[in-house]
C-alpha cells in the first residue's frame, strides 16, 4: 500500500510533481527521535576521525618530520580523492539497496583505519590510512540521506538533514577540544586510536536503531543506468549551479579547517589545547545554531515557494568573506578567533540548503546520488587542492622571509566564499524552472 504525498510548493506558479512513498517506511515519535540521534552520532564520529589530523598537525609534523606541503596533502589530496569519487557508487548502493548496511560497513572501515593511523611511522603509511578513512566516510552522507528519504516524512526532511549535518560542527568541536587536550597530554597517537575504537560502538548502534529499510520500488526514473542518471542531473541548470557552488564551498571550507589551528598557534602563540578549546567550542556552538536553523529555514522556504530560495546562505557567505579577511589581519588572537565565527556559521548553515535543494531538484529515488554529486563538488577539487595551495604559499613565503605567510595563503578562503555566494544566487534563480520541468 502506498501513500501519495504532494508537496505544496508554489515556485513561480509551478508545483513539483507529487512523490510516492510507502506508508510503513515513515517513522514517528520516539523512533524518529532515535534515528535523528543515531544519524547525529554517526556524523559526529565521522567528523572527529576526519579532522583529528588538523588539530594534531603540529605534533604529527614534528614526530614524522613533515613539511606544510605534506600536511596539506594529508588533509587534502590523500583524503579528498577517495572520499569524493567513491561516494557515487556508495550512493547508488544506498538508493537501490539498504542504506543501513552501507552505513554500518562504512563506519567499521573508517574506524579501523583511524585506529591504524595511530601506529604509523612514516608519511606514506599515514597517507594510506587516510585513504582508508576517506573510503569509509565516502558513504556516510549519501547513505544517511537515503535513510532520511526512506524513514522521515517529507515535511520533516529539512530538519532531519540539518540535525544530521549538525554532527559536522559538533564533531569538529569534540575533535578540536578533546583531540587537542589528549594530544597535548597523551600524544597524537593515543587520540587517533581512541577515536577509532569509539567508532565500533557507533557501528553497532547504527545496525540496531534504524530497523530494516526495504528496497525502494523500481520506477523508470530510479532504474536509469548510473552514468545516464548522473548526466541527466548535471544537465539541469539548477543542479549544475548547485554543484558549482559546492566546488567553491570546498575551496573555502577545506583550507579554513585544515590551517585555522596552525595559523592561530603560529601567529598568536596559542597552544594546541587552547586553540582546540576556543575554536572547537565556537565551531560546535555555530553548528548547534546553524544546522537546525538552516534546516527549518529551508523547510519554510520550500513551503513558501519563494523564487530566491538560496538567498539566505548566499548573504551569509558574503558577510563571512569580509570577516574572515579581517581575521587574517587582526592584531590580537581573541579578535581573530571572534572574526572567524561568521565563517563557521556559514559552513554549518549551508549544509541543509545545499543537500535539501539538490534532493528537491533530483526527485524521489535519487536523493543519495544527488548528495554524492554535491559532495564530489565540495569534496574533490577544494579539499584536494585548497590545503595544498595554502601549504605551498606558506612554504614559499617562509623561504622568502615574508611575515605571516600562512595568512597570505589563507586568503583563498574569503575569495572562495564570495564565489560561493554568486553561484548560490544563480542556482536560486534556476530552481523554479527546474521543478516546473519535472
Which whole-number Å values give the CA distances from 351 to 163, 293, 375, 423, in the listed order?
Answer: 10, 11, 10, 15
CA distance 365 to 149: 8
CA distance 330 to 328: 6
Judge contact between 51 and 172, C-beta under 8 A: yes
Rg (CA), the chain: 21
More confidently predicted of 355 and 214:
355
Structure confidence at residue 323 (pLDDT): 97
Judge contact between 435 and 11, C-beta under 8 A: yes
DSSP string, 189-228: HHHHHHHHHHHHHHHHHHHHSS---PPPPP-TTTTS-HHH
Across the chain, mean pLDDT equals: 82
CA distance 286 to 284: 5
CA distance 115 to 241: 38
CA distance 285 to 247: 25
Nearest residue to 44 (alpha-carbon basis) of 112, 111, 124: 111
pLDDT class of 28 with cuts at 50, 70, 90: low
DSSP state of 380: I
Q: What is the dihedral of CA 44, 46, 49, 54, to 10 degrees?
A: -80
Q: Is the pLDDT reported for residue 374 higher than 80?
A: yes
DSSP state of 332: S
More confidently predicted of 323 and 286:
323
CA distance 62 to 1: 62
pLDDT class of 226 with cuts at 50, 70, 90: low
C-alpha cell at 294: 538552516
C-alpha cell at 81: 580523492
Nearest residue to 253 (alpha-carbon basis) of 69, 413, 49, 75: 413
CA distance 17 to 9: 10
pLDDT class of 412 with cuts at 50, 70, 90: very high
Burial class (CB in 10 A: 0-12, 13-18, 19+), 185: exposed
Q: Is the pLDDT reported for residue 159 higher than 90?
A: no
Structure confidence at residue 11 (pLDDT): 43
Structure confidence at residue 21 (pLDDT): 40
Q: How far is CA 254 from the centre of its chain?
A: 10
CA distance 235 to 238: 9
Structure confidence at residue 55 (pLDDT): 79
What are residue 105's DSSP bridge partners?
none
Nearest residue to 233 (alpha-carbon basis) of 135, 91, 420, 347: 91
Structure confidence at residue 325 (pLDDT): 95
DSSP state of 404: T
**How many residues are listed for the chain in this entry?**
438
Nearest residue to 356 (alpha-carbon basis) of 214, 213, 148: 148
If phi > 0 it is left, if psi is from -120 to 50 it is alpha, else beta; for residue 305 that is left
Query: Apex CA 114: angle with CA 111 and CA 115, to 5°?
Result: 90
CA distance 357 to 353: 6
Residues 402-430, mean pLDDT to the nearest whole number: 91
Nearest residue to 129 (alpha-carbon basis) of 147, 117, 111: 117
Structure confidence at residue 418 (pLDDT): 96
pTM to 2 decimals? 0.72
Residues 275-295, mean pLDDT to the nearest whole number: 83
Judge contact between 385 and 338, C-beta under 8 A: no
Q: Is the pLDDT reported for residue 208 higher than 50?
A: yes
Q: Which domains does the chain have, with CATH numbers?
A: 2-216+224-436 (1.20.1250.20)
Query: Apex CA 61: angle with CA 262 and CA 137, to 5°?
Result: 80
Q: Is the pLDDT reported for residue 5 higher than 50?
A: no
DSSP string, 218-283: P-TTTTS-HHHHHHHHHHSHHHHHHHHHHHHHHHHHHHHHHHHHHHHHHHH---HHHHHHHHHHHH
Residue matched to cell numbers 556559514: 346
Amino acid at each position: 500500500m502506498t501513500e501519495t504525498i504532494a508537496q505544496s510548493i508554489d515556485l513561480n506558479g509551478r508545483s513539483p510533481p507529487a512523490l510516492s512513498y510507502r506508508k510503513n517506511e515513515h517513522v514517528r515519535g520516539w523512533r524518529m527521535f532515535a534515528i535523528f540521534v543515531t544519524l547525529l552520532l554517526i556524523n559526529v564520529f565521522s567528523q572527529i576521525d576526519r579532522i583529528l589530523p588538523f588539530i594534531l598537525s603540529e605534533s604529527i609534523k614534528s614526530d614524522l618530520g613533515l613539511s606544510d606541503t605534506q600536511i596539506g596533502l594529508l588533509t587534502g589530496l590523500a583524503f579528498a580523492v577517495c572520499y569524493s569519487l567513491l561516494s557515487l557508487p556508495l550512493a547508488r548502493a544506498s538508493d537501490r539497496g539498504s542504506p543501513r548496511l552501507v552505513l554500518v560497513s562504512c563506519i567499521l572501515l573508517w574506524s579501523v583505519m583511524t585506529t591504524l593511523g595511530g601506529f604509523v611511522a612514516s608519511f606514506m603509511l599515514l597517507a594510506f590510512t587516510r585513504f582508508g578513512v576517506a573510503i569509509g566516510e565516502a558513504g556516510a552522507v549519501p547513505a544517511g540521506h537515503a535513510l532520511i528519504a526512506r524513514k522521515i516524512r517529507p515535511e520533516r526532511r529539512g530538519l532531519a538533514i540539518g540535525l544530521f549535518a549538525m554532527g559536522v560542527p559538533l564533531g569538529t568541536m569534540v575533535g578540536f577540544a578533546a583531540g587537542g587536550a589528549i594530544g597535548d597530554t597523551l600524544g597524537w597517537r593515543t587520540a587517533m586510536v581512541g577515536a577509532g575504537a569509539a567508532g565500533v560502538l557507533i557501528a553497532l548502534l547504527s545496525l540496531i536503531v534504524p530497523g530494516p529499510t526495504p528496497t525502494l520500488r523500481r520506477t523508470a526514473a530510479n532504474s536509469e543506468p548510473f552514468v545516464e542518471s548522473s548526466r541527466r542531473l548535471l544537465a539541469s541548470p539548477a543542479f549544475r549551479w548547485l554543484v558549482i557552488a559546492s566546488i567553491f564551498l570546498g575551496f573555502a571550507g577545506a583550507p579554513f579547517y585544515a590551517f585555522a589551528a596552525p595559523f592561530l598557534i603560529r601567529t598568536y602563540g596559542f597552544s594546541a589545547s587552547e586553540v582546540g578549546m576556543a575554536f572547537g567550542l565556537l565551531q560546535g556552538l555555530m553548528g548547534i545554531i546553524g544546522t537546525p536553523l538552516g534546516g527549518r529555514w529551508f523547510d519554510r522556504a520550500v513551503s513558501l515557494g519563494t523564487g530566491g530560495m538560496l538567498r539566505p546562505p548566499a548573504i551569509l557567505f558574503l558577510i563571512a568573506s569580509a570577516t574572515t579577511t579581517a581575521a587574517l589581519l587582526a592584531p590580537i588572537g581573541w579578535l581573530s578567533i571572534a572574526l572567524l565565527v561568521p565563517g563557521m556559521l556559514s559552513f554549518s548553515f549551508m549544509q541543509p540548503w545545499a543537500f535539501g535543494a539538490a534532493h528537491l531538484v533530483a526527485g524521489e529515488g535519487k536523493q543519495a546520488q544527488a548528495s554524492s554529486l554535491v559532495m564530489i563538488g565540495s569534496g574533490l577539487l577544494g579539499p584536494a587542492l585548497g590545503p595544498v595551495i595554502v601549504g605551498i604559499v606558506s612554504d614559499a613565503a617562509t623561504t622568502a622571509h615574508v611575515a605571516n605567510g600562512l595568512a597570505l595563503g589563507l586568503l583563498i578562503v574569503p575569495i572562495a566564499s564570495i564565489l560561493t555566494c554568486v553561484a548560490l544566487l544563480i542556482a536560486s534563480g534556476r530552481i523554479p524552472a527546474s521543478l516546473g520541468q519535472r
